[in-house]
Amino acid sequence: MFGIFGHPEAANMAYLGLHALQHRGQESAGIVSTDGQTMFQERGMGLVADIFSRERIKRLRGSAAIGHTRYSTTGTSRLVNAQPFRIACHRGEIAVAHNGNLVNAASLRSGLERDGSIFMTSSDTEVILHLVARSQARTLEGALVDALTRVEGAWSLAFLFHDRLIVGRDPWGFRPLSLGRLGEATVVASESCAFDLIGARFERDVRPGELIIVDATGVRSEMPFRPRPTKQCIFEQVYFSRPDSTVFGHSVNQARRQMGAALAREHPAVADVVVPVPDSGLCAALGYSEVSGVPFDFGLVRNHYVGRTFIEPRQAIRHFGVKLKLNPVPGVIRDRRVVLVDDSIVRGTTSRKIVSMVRESGAREVHVRISCPPTVGPCHYGVDTPTRAELIASTQSVEEIRRYLQADSLGYLSIEGLREAVGGGAPFCDACYTNDYPVPIPKEKPAQTGLFEVRR
């Protein structure tokens, strides 16, 4: 998610910002810009670099823009769901980009439908736009506050209007959002690495519960929502953010390094080499190696040219799917006791294939180390995890998982170790490891009216 106000090449900067944020979503991307009179929208399926031609960028006129990349969710990969959305209502044209997930979207939507609203997407974000349009508030900001007071869950949002950009974070601060400056222009981005690419200066994080209004007169901040305990997504540090970003005030690279270090202290291994699963396990493996004294080496090589769809041979090749992406380096692995460091085990199937592949390359022992606790619960606040039933750790003990992986040992970082690695204290949501959900998930899902998917 990216926003910019007051730059002569707003759309081009948004395009580059989205490119730097590509890891946050590869399914679709879009940009909406405005020249103060009209809005311009370009969206497409696929990668930022493929969607935006020079011609499409040129069509995105004006000095303000917001952009979005969407990750692949199963089922409803449809262009109509690609953000930013752009609508007209009695307050004028509004575009919106949303990072996060609302937990009460289904019931709000039911209510809105009962009141005569129509929905054109299956996205929870559309609910917010309806609430803004229906608000009786006198001012635009008032209407946004009205709407955002009624939604529950995770939202980092960027709204674009003809004459202003308004961004905000929910009161728990689930998802990241940073504020920066590029010459005269104000910029916002999900991660600071987007600022680095365009040469913008990081200023500060948008605060949980803060709305920031950017217009021709300058930048104003408001804190219109009931304060809540800060609950920033710990998984941003574990996996989601890029290591060169500073997220929630911490260097991601450093946090991961410390996860690896703590993991080495909690789960040492008598071994010959520490091998990261690239790229997610790189930083933690380095930390593990440093503390354990076991040498670090690149025992798995990643193929950078993996395309989206791949033609499989009829005749089965063992571990085909994993091999397309990863290849073991026999010289590093053969006859060695290997510590394999990764950032998480979700369903367990991929990890099992990697362990088996490493073993076939001649490893004497394979010790799996994971730089976070077992993933026991799905995320309801904006990370695309499988359902609880699919999470191997929600039903299996660590020993059972170890047996499934056919690893010689398996160690997960403790929740305490993880918390300490990311700076300690309570301001994190770690529901996926603890089942402690800060915003309750409604039990009943309301009657469905089609065109809508309820997030697990």
The nearer residue to a copy of itself, 123 or 375, going by C-beta atoms, is 123
DSSP bridge pairs for 156:
99, 169
Per CB under 8 A, contacts with a copy of itself among 67-86 are: 78-80, 85-86
The nearer residue to a copy of itself, 132 or 431, going by C-beta atoms, is 132
Burial environment of residue 149 by CB neighbours within 10 A (0 to 12, 13 to 18, 19 or more): middle
H or E segment at 214?
strand 211-215
Structure tokens at 346: 């979700």
Q: Min. distance of Cβ 52 from a copy of itself in angstroms?
A: 7
DSSP bridge pairs for 96:
85, 159
10 Å Cβ neighbour count for 69? 27
What sign has the CA pseudo-torsion 77, 24, 259, 153?
Answer: negative
Span interacting with a copy of itself, options 223-231, 282-290, 374-382, 419-427, rule CB under 8 A = 282-290
Taking the C-alpha atoms of residue 30 and residue 14, their distance in angstroms, rounded to an integer, is 9
The nearer residue to a copy of itself, 242 or 352, going by C-beta atoms, is 242
Binding mask 178-207 for a copy of itself (x = CB under 8 A): ---------------x--xxxx--------
Per CB under 8 A, contacts with a copy of itself among 327-356 are: 327-332
Structural Rg of the chain based on CA atoms: 23
Per CB under 8 A, contacts with a copy of itself among 207-236 are: none
Residues 108/127, Cβ–Cβ less than 8 Å: yes
Q: What are the backbone dihedrals phi and psi of residue 338, each rounded to the nearest 5 degrees, phi first?
A: -105, 130
Backbone angle region of 446, left / alpha / beta, with phi > 0 → left and psi within -120 to 50 → alpha? beta
Span interacting with a copy of itself, options 148-156, 218-226, 280-288, 391-399, rule CB under 8 A = 280-288
- Residue 149 in the binding site for a copy of itself (CB under 8 A): no
Per CB under 8 A, contacts with a copy of itself among 303-322 are: 303-308, 310-311, 313-315, 317-318
Residue in 66, 238, 247, 283 binding a copy of itself, rule: CB under 8 A: 283
Span interacting with a copy of itself, options 37-45, 173-181, 345-353, 435-443, rule CB under 8 A = 37-45
Span interacting with a copy of itself, options 20-28, 225-233, 373-381, 415-423, rule CB under 8 A = 20-28
Residue indicated by tokens 């979005």 = 68
Binding mask 99-118 for a copy of itself (x = CB under 8 A): -----------x--xxxxxx
The nearer residue to a copy of itself, 222 or 420, going by C-beta atoms, is 420
How many residues belong to the site for a copy of itself (CB under 8 A)?
A: 96
- Residue 177 in the binding site for a copy of itself (CB under 8 A): no
Taking the C-alpha atoms of residue 135 and residue 148, their distance in angstroms, rounded to an integer, is 11
- Residue 138 in the binding site for a copy of itself (CB under 8 A): no
Burial environment of residue 291 by CB neighbours within 10 A (0 to 12, 13 to 18, 19 or more): middle
